[in-house]
Amino acid sequence: MIKNITPRSRLIILRNLIYHNIVFKVILLILNPILLINKIKNYKKDKYKVSKINWGLRTDQLGKHGVISSDTPPEDFDYVTKLQKKILFSNLKRFVSKKEKKILDYGCGSGRFTEALAKISYKANVLGVDPEKKLIDLAKPKKNVKYIVLKNLNQIKSKFDIIFISNVLGGIEIKNLYKLNKFLISKLKKNGILFLSEHISDKKNIESEVLKGWAFRDDDFYLNLFKKINLRKVDEYSYNGYRTSIYVGKTKEKVLKNLKKPLKYRK
Ligand SMILES: C[S@@+](CC[C@H](N)C(=O)[O-])C[C@H]1O[C@@H](n2cnc3c(N)ncnc32)[C@H](O)[C@@H]1O
């Protein structure tokens, strides 16, 4: 059964009902003819134009809260993060030996999960990397938790026992992912774990994808992207209408054998 993180605020539920309602969207366009005309005029041009999230601007506007969906009210940020952490880490714990020494939080944002990663193993050192300086500035370094602003992948010098990625790849164009996957695999030590969680949908039109802020790809896309390390889906949860898959890949097949057992989860 798919786990569900229920939004606490009534406002958010009401807002979602309205926002996700197609009739509402059409009414908005009819009420605003200029918007409608511009939409029609720019339709062809915009259709093939890649748009990426400006994380700097988003951080200016929303602070640390910007790393989760913008329809989450700030007062729900800690509540949602706590539940996500519970789901992610209860899965991750199934695969760690507690002897892991080096962990990479790739696209760590403001470090929501970075510190907790240091506690997953007895002697872990964690490196959080993110291209957005404004988010890294919000993260809190500790003795065994370091952060760097990632300008170039070459800055990541060592290999890791665990590479943790939480909702990062959805914001990256496919052509770049086909290079990034090789890089990340090359940064895994022997028997290293890739732990990935990404928003998903059942959409299949991957090849013609034009990135519009965030891509909700299907499970097969991510499974194929990390086929070399036998990526498997281990769990799924939903929050506020967004589905998120959790995957684990390991350079050695053996450990992944009993993945099919469903994981019990209590709030
Ligand atoms: C949705 S946020 C998730 C942040 C964090 N992992 C979390 O769960 O709180 C996506 C993050 O990916 C980062 N990002 C964007 N492009 C990236 C890239 N090419 N490599 C690594 N991180 C990237 C963004 O700066 C942003 O912090």
Q: pLDDT below 70 — which residues of the chain?
A: 1, 20, 252-267
Please name the residue whose Cα sits nearest to atom 21 of ligand 1. Answer: 107
Query: Ligand 1 pocket check: which of 51, 83, 114, 130 to mutate, most ligand atoms within 8 Å of Cβ?
Result: 130
Query: Ligand 1 pocket check: which of 67, 81, 85, 165 to mutate, most ligand atoms within 8 Å of Cβ?
Result: 67
Domain ranges of the chain: 74-260
Task: Please state the pTM of the whole predicted model.
Answer: 0.88
Helix H, strand E, coil C: the string for the chain is CCEEECCCCHHHHHHHHHHCCHHHHHHHHHHCHHHHHHHHHHHHHHHCCCEECCHHHHHHHHHHHHHCCCCCCHHHHHHHHHHHHHHHHHHHCCCCCCCCCEEEEECCCCCCCHHHHHCCCCCCEEEEEECCHHHHCCCCCECCEEEEECCCHHHCCCCEEEEEEECCHHHCCHHHHHHHHHHHHHCEEEEEEEEEEEEECCCCCCCCCCCEECCCECHHHHHHHCHHHCCEEEEEEEECCEEEEEEEEECCCHHHHHHHCCCCCCC
Q: What is the pLDDT of residue 47?
A: 81
Q: What is the pLDDT of residue 53?
A: 96
Pocket, ligand 1, Cβ cutoff 6 A: 55, 67, 106-109, 112, 130-132, 135, 150, 166-168, 171-172
- The answer to whether domain 74-260 has CATH 3.40.50.150 is yes
